[in-house]
Amino acid sequence: MGKVNANDLLERFQFELLAGEEGIYRPITTSDISRPGIEMAGFFTYYPAKRIQLIGITELSFFERLATEEKMDRMLKLCTYDTPAIILSRGLDAPVELVEAAEENGVPLLRSSLTTTRLSTKITDYLESELAPLTAVHGVLVDIYGIGVLITGNSGVGKSETALDLIRRGHRLVADDSVEIRQEHGNTLIGKPPELLQHLLEIRGLGIINAMTLFGAGAVRPYKRIVLCINLELWDQKKAYDRLGLEEETMKIIDTEITKLTVPVRPGRNLAVIIEVAAMNYRLKRLGYNAAQEFSTRLTELIEEGDHEEY
C-alpha cells in the first residue's frame, strides 16, 4: 500500500496551508472522507478521527450559531492527534477556534477554492489510487489493440524480444522487466513501470534501449489496465498443451483474477503474432464470440446427426 500525507495533498492540489504545519507529514491511511456535520452539533461518539475532515459552507454556517464556549470545545474535539488533515472548501475563512485547535494538536488545516462536492471527489479519487494495494511482477506489459497484456515467464525465455517485435508491429510498451501493479476500484489492476525503467527495454546482446526514442511517443504509454496474462515457457514434449482453447486458466494478482494463457516457446514460433491474436481473441470473447465453444457445439451436433442416421 502506498503512503500519503497532507504535504502530498498540498503539492498535488495546490492547497493553502493555514495552520498545523507540525503535522504535515502525518500519514493518511484511508481514502474515506468525513464531513463533520453531526460532530459540529456535539455528537462525537462515532467520530471517524482517522479520516480527512472536509468542512464546507453548511458546517461553518451551523458552527457560527454556536455559543462562544461551545465553539472552542467542538474544534478541540475535531482536531485529534489521529486526524490527518482538515480541509476548508470554497476558499472559506477559517474560524479562529479552528486555527488555534489545529495549531495546538498539530493538525494540518488546508484551504481550497473548489466546491465541497468537487473537492471531495478529487481527493477521494487521488487517495484511492495512491492507497490501493500494490505489488510488483517480473514481466512485460504491452498495450495490444487496447488490451493490457502482461507477458510473464522465466528469465531468458524471450519476453523483452517479443515485446520489441510487438512494438514494431504498432503496439505500445508500458513496462519491461518489472511491472508495478495497483488494485484500484475493487478489482481493477493498473500496471505501470518503475520510474527508473520508464520507456526502457533490455535486449540481450544489445543492452538497454529506449523505445520512445527509437519508435516515437506513440510506441509507449505510462500505464494500462491489465486483463490478460500470457505466460511463456520452454516447450516440454511431455506436457499436454490445450489445443482447443476450451479450458480457461486464471491467475491471481493481489485479490483479482485475470485470464491466463500458457504459450510454449520453441524455434520457429512467431510469439508476437501469437500474442497479438490472443489479445484479439480475448476481445472477441468479451463481445460474446467464442471460436472454441462454437467448434465444440458444431462437433457435438455432427456426432448427434451421425447417431440419428444409424437409427
Q: Which of 3, 12, 118, 138 is catalytic?
A: 138
**Would residue 308 show up in a list of annotated catalytic residues for this protein?**
no
Please give the annotated binding residues for Mg(2+), written as ranges.
160, 202
Q: Which of 26, 111, 159, 221 is catalytic?
A: 159
Q: Which of 90, 165, 177, 285 is catalytic?
A: 177
- CA 277 – CA 268 distance, rounded (Å): 17
Please give the annotated binding residues for ATP, written as ranges.
153-160
Residue 5 belongs to what H/E stretch?
A: strand 4-5
For 207, the grid coordinates are 543492452
Q: Which of 238, 239, 243, 308 is catalytic?
A: 243
**Would residue 177 show up in a list of annotated catalytic residues for this protein?**
yes
* Residue (of 49, 64, 53) closest to 95 by Cα position: 64
Cα 292 from chain centre: 32
Question: Are 189 and 195 contacting, i.e. CB atoms less than 8 angstroms apart?
Answer: no
Please give the annotated binding residues, written as ranges.
153-160, 202
Tell me the residue length of the chain. Answer: 311
**Would residue 243 show up in a list of annotated catalytic residues for this protein?**
yes
Cα 130 from chain centre: 8
**Would residue 185 show up in a list of annotated catalytic residues for this protein?**
no
Grid-cell match 482453447, residue found: 245
What is 141-183 written as a DSSP string?
EEEETTEEEEEEESTTSSHHHHHHHHHHTT-EEEESSEEEEEE
Question: Are 217 and 137 contacting, i.e. CB atoms less than 8 angstroms apart?
Answer: no
What is 64-123 written as a DSSP string?
TTS-HHHHHHHHHHHS-SS---EEE-TTPPPPHHHHHHHHHHT--EEE-SS-HHHHHHHH
Active site residues: 138, 159, 177, 243
